[in-house]
Amino acid sequence: MIPVAGSPQVLVLRDLEQVRSTLRHARVSKGGIDIMEKKALFRIVRVTDLDVRAAGILKQEMLSRGGEVAVSREVYESGGEKADCLLMGTLAQFERLLPKLRAQPFGLRSLAASIEAALTNHDARVPACHEGIPLAEGPLLMGILNVTPDSFSDGDSYTGTEQAVRTGLEMAEEGAAFIDVGGESTRPGSDRVSLDEEAARVMPVVKALAQSLPGRVSVDTYKARMAADALAAGAYMINDISALRMDSEMVAVIRDADCPVVLMHMLGEPKTMQEEPTYEDVVEELHAFFVERLNWAVDNGLKEENLLIDPGLGFGKTTVHNLEIMRDLETFRSLGRPIVLGASRKRFLGEILGIDEPRQRDLATAATTVMAVTAGAHIVRVHRVGLNRDAARLAQAVFGPGQDARQSDG
């Protein structure tokens, strides 16, 4: 049946900006908009390992405000000490809930602060970040420049310094905000290379690019000495596939340099990471991983605004895992850190589309760039900058912030 009377239309509103625009279009008064805007957005918040007594209070308080809390069965079974909860409600209901939780025992006061931070982070378009990363101009592109003979995608293409530097400059001209130089292949099954060999590949390129592109050179390494030398030579950012876990000295290098660092998730190490990777819930486990890593980094002296996160597509994940991460990428916004995504030419794209040659996966990569931008990712790592620049701009034009012609408070 086609609806006719009143022309009912189901609206999809993603944020408060869209809600306010829609209310204005309906000619709602400014006072009415202020009252109703937070009633139009529904949020689901997952909380794990909560004291069962706290879970019972949480459910009671949210129900009294018109929301709902789904709780794990431990709340009702004798002997259970911890429970998981799904809080479901509008922003207005959460707003009324949180002050009440701050007066409750069993850890609910700190939980209220965490829920408030998660909701605020999720709805913030631009998280606080190092001043050299222009997120407000986003989405940003990071050009992948592998100076290795065995890269899965472009091995041996840029092993000569002159060619590598020329390619990096071309990427910058096409719109790359950063050039990510890597001297050790981390494809599945790859072996580690020595520090000397990695430095011989990377340092000449970093030195040359840093002169022409100050503040725009990133180095893809997990070795502290490599990172320190690259930063001294003019690199701006470090991209660590191990999230500061493979070299105990890396955190000190980042702290002393006061530079941005990308913390990437990887299960195991490149040599073995694709040997039957297993998760119960890949998105939930990655979220917990980043909570631990971010807190560890801050506890060890790193500034929060210098930390970025990357879910590490293809690094210890099956095709199904990668798709689940892409589908739920938006959930990582609640961590309040810039999200970096690298799907470019990855094997899972070839498995889905039947494309064996990595360089033939650029159109598929552009599709993932659109998905990343719509989910709120801030930096996308790509091999083909121009193609993905256009894809990102189109996605931003459709789904990004903008002034609606109907908006007016007058």
pLDDT, tens digit (0-9, with 9 covering 90-100), for 205-229: 999 999 999 999 999 999 999 999 9
- Distance linking the first and last C-alpha atoms of the chain: 39
- Between CA 229 and CA 211 the distance in angstroms is 15
- Between CA 302 and CA 337 the distance in angstroms is 13
**Counting Cβ atoms within 10 Å, is residue 114 exposed (0-12), middle (13-18) or buried (19+)?**
middle
Q: Which of 142, 42, 134 is nearest to 93 (CA)?
A: 42
The mean pLDDT value for 231-236 works out to 98
> Is a pLDDT exceeding 70 seen at residue 159?
no
pLDDT tens for each residue of 54-111: 999 999 999 999 999 999 876 677 667 888 999 999 999 999 999 999 999 999 999 9
- Fold classification of 41-123 (topology level): Ribosomal Protein S8; Chain: A, domain 1 (3.30.1370)
* 82-90, strands of its sheet edge to edge: 42-51, 82-90, 68-71
- Between CA 224 and CA 130 the distance in angstroms is 21
Looking at domain 135-399, its CATH architecture is: Alpha-Beta Barrel (3.20)
Of 59-68, 91-100, 118-127, 401-410, the poorest mean pLDDT is in 401-410
pLDDT at 78: 61
- Between CA 128 and CA 120 the distance in angstroms is 12
- In order of 99, 107, 112, the CA distances from 103 in angstroms are 7, 10, 10
- Residues 349, 326 contacting (CB under 8 angstroms): no
- Between CA 382 and CA 179 the distance in angstroms is 10
> Is a pLDDT exceeding 80 seen at residue 187?
no
Does residue 190 or residue 403 have the better pLDDT?
190
The mean pLDDT value for 122-146 works out to 92
**Residue tagged 């290098």 (tokens):** 253
Q: Which two tokens stand for residue 37?
A: 């805007």
The mean pLDDT value for 280-289 works out to 96
> Looking at 59, 337, 381, 389, which residue is catalytic?
381
pLDDT tens for each residue of 337-393: 999 999 999 999 999 999 999 999 999 999 999 999 999 999 999 999 999 999 999
Is-cis flag, bond preceding 139, omega within 30? Answer: yes
Per DSSP, the three-state class of 88 is strand
Q: Which of 367, 391, 390, 392 is nearest to 379 (CA)?
A: 392
Q: For 270, left (φ over 0), alpha (ψ -120 to 50), or beta?
A: alpha
> Is a pLDDT exceeding 50 seen at residue 407?
no
pLDDT band for position 406 (50/70/90)? very low
> Is a pLDDT exceeding 80 seen at residue 154?
no
pLDDT at 359: 94
**Counting Cβ atoms within 10 Å, is residue 397 exposed (0-12), middle (13-18) or buried (19+)?**
exposed
Structural domain boundaries in the chain: 41-123, 135-399
Q: For 314, left (φ over 0), alpha (ψ -120 to 50), or beta?
A: left
- In order of 20, 121, 301, 401, the CA distances from 337 in angstroms are 26, 8, 17, 19
pLDDT tens for each residue of 272-283: 778 888 999 999
Residues ≥6 apart with Cβ < 8 Å to 160: none
Indicate the average pLDDT of the chain: 91
> Is a pLDDT exceeding 50 seen at residue 332?
yes
Handedness of CA 254, 130, 141, 170 (dihedral sign): negative
Helix (H) or strand (E) holding 307: strand 307-310
Among 13-17, 159-163, 184-188, top mean pLDDT goes to 13-17
Active site includes 317? no
Active site includes 346? yes
Q: Which two tokens stand for residue 275?
A: 């040997």
The mean pLDDT value for 309-319 works out to 96
> Is a pLDDT exceeding 60 seen at residue 312?
yes
Q: Which of 29, 104, 25, 27 is nearest to 60 (CA)?
A: 104
pLDDT tens for each residue of 352-367: 999 999 999 999 999 9
> Looking at 346, 361, 384, 389, which residue is catalytic?
346
